[in-house]
Structure 1
Amino acid sequence: MILTNLNAQQLEIVKYSFDDDKYGIAKFANAMRRDSVDAGIENGKYIFQNYHKKGVSKWSLLNYGLNSKANTGYKASITQLAGAQDYSYGLVINAENGSNYIMFGIASNGYYILLYSKSGTTTNISNGWVKSSLVKTGYNAINELYIEKIGNNYQFFLNEVSLKTQSIELSKFSANVGLFANSNMKVGLEQLEIKQWNSQTTIPGKIVRGYTPMTIMPVAAKPMPTISKQNEVYRIELSTFNNRYGIKDKDGYRLVDPVFNLAYLNNGFFIAGDESTNSLGVYDIQGNMIIPPIMKKINMSKDKSAVYFSCRSESGFWGLIDQNGKTVLPFVYNYLDAVSEGLVYMKNAKGWGVVDLTGLPLIAPGSIDDDTDRKKKNFRIPNKVNNGRIIVSASKSDGGKMGVMDIQGNWVIMPKYYSMRYVDTNQSYIVSMPKPTDTKRLLHGVIDKNGSIIIPIKYSSLSPKGKNYIASEGDDPFNDDFTDEAMAAADDDLFDFLEEEEVIQNKMKWGLFSHTGSMILPFNYDDLTTNSEVGILTLKQLNPTTKKMVSFLYDQSNKSMLSLAAYDEYKYDSILFKGKPKNYYSTSYPYFAEGLMNVAKAGKWGFIDKTGKVVIPFQYDHASAFYKNATLVKKNNEWFYINRQGKKIPEPQLIESSSSKELPPIRPGVL
């Protein structure tokens, strides 16, 4: 078999021996109905039988996750089981319909034929039937048919011998692949293998000797080392909402030009490319290709020490690839979630279920349901197995509510909840049910791993913070919990509230529960927000005498409460922020971060710790919250940075370690 680039990274789309139906293919029914067809798995083969009268050729198609522009190899091991031996059967690819397809046919008496149809016009590549000693004759003889697509060139192989190469420009690409057979024939597919690749062997835009670097932007005078001290993605802003991404090394030198519309680094791998052109790929930290850039979407997960990539193809099917570029689960799934405990939540032709990394179903596909099916096309929170259990929705016939199953498919917590969320720190579940008096709203509570109530299901919101739970009573005045229209109108509601505060009042009250369900803070607070440190909460309470909000810092570790009443109430002042550096985005309002909180007293800003001790004196016109051991302050109309000791320091590397208007320089000697 001839490949354009023998070093190209080939991706196995599917390699199926049809020994079982674990990928959702039905079993062969042997219906034997006149003028019909039958297809399915039987005795380790994918069987196709055509019961139509003489002269009627039919096909049975399978659909896989393919990219229309990638080079593709289709290899099928096929055999004839019954029927006339001078009739044709074989492999069909790109089978959009009866007017657009490519066929590679053989006959068991020793002939082959190659042809394609475009918009109903058939072209006979082989100029009719060709007698050939390459064809293995008779029943049960296995012939290997292989079609290799390189661009628009198709090369046909029979039992590893090249027959013909033909340029074919099809009207439309189709991922449909399958068997065809003439009248009253029974044929079998012993194995089907499809691979895809492109001409690349490394990441596009890599700065190497002989490459001409991009000159779309000025080059920075000096490199800016990365914050992580590892290779990182950098961003170049070509215009508003038009960014390109590249890679630089830990010293700030350019490794890869900004050639990507999307790029990010995770667990030592770069996912980069363009979703709109189905060209996402995966590369290692040195820029070597792991997955060729032929994907529509790529989600990464880590299970123990192994990294996996759930990939969605252009044609919509998902597959699972490991960190070495090896296909773990073929591209036959309607959806594949993250890997957890060696298992994957998935959907195939039979429905939703859970499989292991061999594709073996543990929770049978179709035995559960998923009402959020439409959301799977985009990012969502992965549904993971935790301690051998997984949150799933019952089938519609079983009520469609959510519960918890073990990996044998048995209900551990019966499906009776509208929503469920696993809390890893406590091995418990936050659950919700519709409010009896207002079915547009949900009430939330906490249950343990056996379904027993820890916190009653009666609170309007509930979320974990450390080992504790933040909860609220009273309805959200801006939104309900169910309707899409309400979600879409949330921003409008907020603006209306700000303009007409006297009309709409937020009557929600906030409190705090322990992981055992005991109350730590009663529902006396008008607001409760989190900070960058898990153990610290900011509370607000209306003073009934002054009618002003008083803030508090609450330390969950020792249950201490610090009143912030002695400090100024924060109000945004656009004049105050005049001249502030535009590339600094840390929190400007009072916020506890990195052990300190920025607060103002008598118009001057400083920093206190969680006990109220003044750590940096009140001397600034403004001070932002700390971020990565530095913060921006203003004093006497000058903006500058200080460290945690209050000492003035040079501008740190904070949000971006280089300008988005300059290209990182190239390391001397590379070119």
Structure 2
Amino acid sequence: MAQTNQYTKILLSKKIGMEVHSYSEGYGTVYDSKNKKESIVDSLGNITFESAHSISHIFKNRFILTSGESGYKTKSAIIDEKGNELLPLDDQSFNTPWLSKKRIISSKEGKEAVYDYQGKEIIPYSERILFVAEDRFFVKKDKVWFLYDLEGKQVSPREFKEDYHFENGKALIINEDNQSEIIGKNGQTLHKFSTQIYSLASYPYLITKSRTTGKYGLVDAEENILAEEIYDDASPEYFGAKEYVYLRKKGKATVFNKKDRKLYPNNFKYLTPLFNDLFSVYSDKSKKTGVGNLNGEIVVPQEYDFVQSFSISGKDFIYLKKGQEEQFLNQDLKNILDQNTQVIAFYPDQLIIKKQDGYYQFSVLNRSTSVLKDIVAIKEQEPDFFNIFNLYSKPVVCRNASNLYGIIDGKGKEIVPFIYDDIIAFENSENEIVVKKQDKYGVVNFQNEPLKDIIYDKYYWQKEVLKLDKDKKTDILYFTRFKNSGSRL
């Protein structure tokens, strides 16, 4: 397994005797508190450049050098790992909000220009420049905007009153005739509308908004009316398969199904899509969740505490939990779990379940089980862990028959050895885990890299920081976010 940037940073810090910051792609930065200088360090621990000025890492071997002497204007430069100035130190600041590895915007004396990372000017200084797509800029000249590509070429003679951002190669604008219009990346007209378009997030279906009543409706790209402007609000499906648009009136949702271009009035306020035109539906009255279909019919009663869809081994399932009762429904809404079975973890290829007093890997394809040997307990994750960013479980913290803790992944492989008195894994997206031995605490990650020695008396989890106390002194470790892809570890 490749060594993580986080662990490389720790090893380099120990090697050079100074804390390495922002390490990635072979380089990091270091601040020496003794001589008050900042440096660039490579992956071998070599200091490649040192300066009294501030150094910020952009990517790989590109950095921003910023001078900030008291009483003087701030000056900035783009440098490489050896300190060579690719864009010379000047009264300028740099805009890298999207962390592009191709272009950077320089702001100087109230104007802006675009450069590449070799220091070549791509777009000369203008009134304003905005990055509006992966390969497009809007450039303001004489109070109007023009569209440019990454090579600094103006792609259209068309003038725009405002800047607009592109989504999937399209932008929604208000044109010269005060009409809603959709343009392509070369400024060309794709569609014009007589009605006001509110959002193109569900293109080719478009949410409209009445200029007189403020009510919402829906049209297609040819302006055929799909839903009259009678709704209090409208929202597209932003994640997942993006099959629906939700229109709401008086607290009830009407669902537009893109597949058949039809409207389905419902009695539910909010619906979360599952699969096959099924939705989880929440009852404000009972505070419970069930499953409904497009026609507004309840197909699973609203009596469950938690409802979530999962794709396992290429098939779709619905997980239901009510108190101690759990079900795992297939596409026919048949439960494939035996009675008194508890699902411990969900992975792309299989489940980990608890049955009676044993733990097993469970195949959803043939319902076969394989015992997890020597595992006597597994720490469970809370159901609210699962969301669009955490589609599957983390590797699980287990206790073996020797009363020692370790971690296994979705395939049952040991990834953190069973040598600890306890392991504390945090919810959400944290990659760091606290380990305990002989009443002392340390930190490792899911790659089993030691991040903090097991020498601390206490630990605290505080938002983005893990605090560890020893001898009335506190060390901190910033969390890196755990990008969960199930069995990737």
TM-score by length of 1: 0.38
**More RCO (CA 8 Å, sep 6+):** 1
